[in-house]
């Protein structure tokens, strides 16, 4: 694909649908027919390589209009407790596998949904239970996602008791009208109260998530959101351009012909993220990835991202979670009943899998590395025996001519314009059969 000038490149942006790429090849290429690859992988010889754990908590107070994550509302405390039981049983199944047992745990990430919706005693039971099965050490990062309305002092105590090191709160906007119009259940005052409580917990890193270009957001509102985020001085600020994937309420609303609200354009969303990054840099933050700025890039480095984006093994537990082990991807069942029944029978609750070809492994790691804005030739040579500058020369040259990357003898750097387009740039490196394919 020839990409020059920049306008040609920007014309391949999605208007609606998925933008954020979390892995490769796309989920739509994973299938049940490849599930047989999982057993020999988890039963293979032990390794010294560190392992990360992702734990999915699929419960929310209310479904936000823009959200594409698998989560449900209205589950009772008993349902949630049963889900924690299942998670622990699933962890037990894997903890006995030769390829996984006894490995150094580099991170445990509690994501969702809303993990902070769990009751304090369930958080404790889950966290301590997992640590018994997969012992952590003083270097393990333990991350926990919270939503503002669910944070209480008691929950902060429970997070401390399981050794959480990083708390991340979904703020999205500091404008009550925008929050309401996009189906968020919280208000700005809830954010401020929750922020104080989390701050009192003195965690190693505190992150807040913002979303640029939510429906009806104007530039002034976004600028004010960025300023208010800076005023709070979190250790880390993550900024996502708003997407409208097909499984969201907003996607359906926007598809209706008589819908008067128009989505913010990708050009505008990128401009808003760019503005946020500039403001954050002026206040001493360092832009660390395509989506995040950190107060201290060493102290607040996000281990989960470093591990996963550098090709590390990750075991995903819980409904719909996906894992990546030794070149095999697999995803758990997305049905509560199926997930719980399989685990109760002592079986791995797998829905679909994908064994990666060596060309796909290289592309996977290359496009994940793009998100850091820097690709080291040596690192790929060491891991794959391939000079990526030669392998992808045509694509890199086009990107360089479009002002999106700078290439020197040892490294490829994404310029700021390039970093703001990291996920679209990634599409250029896909194998031809994956170029036009559905993502999920």
Binding segment (CB under 6 A) for ligand SF4, from list 59-67, 153-161, 339-347, 374-382: 59-67
243's contact among ligand SAM, ligand SF4, none, with CB below 5 to 8 A by partner kind, is: ligand SAM
114 binds ligand SF4 (CB under 6 A): yes
Q: Are 331 and 350 in contact (CB under 8 A)?
A: yes
Which option in ligand SAM, ligand SF4, none does residue 63 bind, with CB closer than 5 to 8 A by kind?
ligand SF4
Q: Does residue number 67 form part of the binding site for ligand SF4 (CB under 6 A)?
A: yes
CB of residue 112 to ligand SAM, shortest distance in Å: 5
Identify the residue among 106, 114, 182, 264 touching ligand SAM (CB under 6 A).
114
Listed in sequence order, the residues at least 6 apart from 185 whose beta carbon sits closer than 8 Å to its beta carbon are: 61, 62, 64, 147, 149
Shortest gap between Cβ of 395 and ligand SAM (angstroms)? 26
What are residue 362's phi and psi, to 5 degrees?
-65, -45
Q: Find the binding residues for ligand SAM in span 218-247 (CB under 6 A).
A: 240, 242-243
- Residues touching ligand SF4, count (CB under 6 A): 11
Residue 11: count other Cβ atoms within 10 Å of its Cβ.
8
Sites for ligand SF4 among residues 118-177 (CB under 6 A): 147, 170
Q: What CA–CA distance (Å, rounded) separates 341 from 352?
A: 17
Q: Is 183 left (phi over 0), alpha (psi -120 to 50) or beta?
A: left
H/E segment holding residue 354 = strand 350-355
State yes or no: residue 170 binds ligand SAM (CB under 6 A): yes
| Number of neighbours of residue 261 by Cβ within 10 angstroms | 11
Q: Using CA atoms, how far apart are residues 415 and 421, in angstroms rounded to an integer?
A: 10
Which token pair is 75? 């589950």
Determine which residue in the list 71, 140, 225, 250 makes contact with ligand SF4, applying CB under 6 A.
71
**Which residue number, 243 or 365, has a Cβ lying nearer to ligand SF4?**
243
**H or E, element range at 340:** helix 336-344
Where do the H-state alpha helices sit in 12-149? 38-42, 77-95, 120-133
Contact region with ligand SAM (CB under 6 A), list: 106-114, 194-202, 297-305, 333-341 = 106-114
Sheet containing 166-172: give its strands across.
Answer: 286-287, 292-294, 236-241, 205-212, 166-172, 141-146, 105-112, 51-57, 313-317, 322-325, 328-332, 350-355
Tell me which stretch binds ligand SF4 (CB under 6 A): 66-74, 243-251, 385-393, 395-403.
Answer: 66-74
Site for ligand SAM in 12-71 (CB under 6 A): 66-69
Shortest CB 47 distance to ligand SAM, Å: 30
Contact between 310 and 320 under an 8 Å Cβ cutoff? The reply is no
Quick one: what does residue 143 bind among ligand SAM, ligand SF4, none, with the CB cut-off 5 to 8 Å set by partner type? none
**Binding region for ligand SAM (CB under 6 A):** 66-69, 111-112, 114, 145, 147, 170, 172, 209, 211, 240, 242-243
**Binding region for ligand SF4 (CB under 6 A):** 60, 63-64, 67, 69, 71, 112-114, 147, 170
């Amino acid at each position: 694909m020839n990409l020059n000038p920049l306008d040609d490149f920007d014309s391949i942006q999605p208007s609606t649908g998925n933008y954020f790429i979390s892995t490769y090849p796309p989920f739509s290429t994973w299938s049940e027919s490849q599930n047989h690859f999982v057993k020999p992988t988890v039963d293979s010889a032990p390794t010294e390589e560190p392992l990360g754990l992702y734990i999915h908590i699929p419960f929310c107070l209310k479904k936000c209009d823009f959200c594409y994550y698998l989560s449900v509302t209205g589950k009772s405390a008993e349902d949630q407790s049963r889900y924690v039981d299942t998670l622990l049983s699933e962890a037990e199944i894997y903890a006995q596998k030769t390829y996984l047992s006894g490995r150094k745990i580099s991170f445990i990430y509690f994501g969702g949904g809303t993990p902070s919706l769990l009751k304090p005693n369930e958080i404790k039971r889950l966290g301590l239970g997992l640590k018994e099965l997969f012992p952590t050490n003083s270097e393990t990062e333990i991350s926990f996602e919270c939503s503002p309305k669910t944070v209480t002092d008691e929950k902060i105590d429970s997070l401390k008791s399981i050794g959480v090191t990083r708390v991340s709160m979904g703020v999205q906007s500091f404008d009550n009208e925008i929050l309401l119009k996009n189906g968020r259940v919280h208000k700005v005052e809830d954010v401020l109260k929750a922020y104080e409580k989390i701050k009192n917990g003195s965690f190693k890193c505190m992150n807040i998530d913002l979303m640029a270009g939510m429906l009806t957001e104007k530039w002034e509102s976004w600028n004010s959101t960025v300023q208010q985020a800076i005023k709070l001085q979190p250790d880390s600020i993550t900024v996502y351009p708003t997407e409208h994937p097909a499984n969201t309420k907003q996607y359906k609303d926007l598809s209706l012909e008589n819908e008067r609200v128009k989505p913010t354009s990708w050009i505008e969303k990128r401009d808003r993220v760019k503005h946020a990054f500039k403001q954050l840099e002026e206040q001493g933050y360092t832009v660390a990835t395509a989506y995040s700025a950190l107060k201290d890039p060493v102290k607040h480095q996000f281990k989960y991202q470093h591990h996963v984006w550098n090709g590390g093994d990750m075991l995903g537990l819980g409904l719909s979670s996906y894992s990546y082990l030794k070149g095999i991807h697999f995803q758990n069942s997305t049905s509560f009943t199926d997930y719980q029944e399989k685990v109760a029978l002592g079986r791995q609750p797998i829905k679909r899998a994908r064994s990666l070809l060596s060309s796909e492994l290289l592309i996977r790691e290359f496009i994940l590395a793009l998100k850091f804005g820097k690709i080291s030739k040596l690192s790929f040579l060491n891991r794959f025996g391939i000079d990526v500058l030669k392998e992808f020369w045509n694509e890199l040259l086009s990107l360089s001519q479009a002002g999106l990357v700078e290439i020197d003898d040892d490294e490829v750097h994404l310029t700021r314009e390039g970093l703001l387009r990291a996920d679209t740039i990634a599409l250029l490196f896909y194998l031809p059969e994956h170029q036009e394919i559905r993502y999920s």
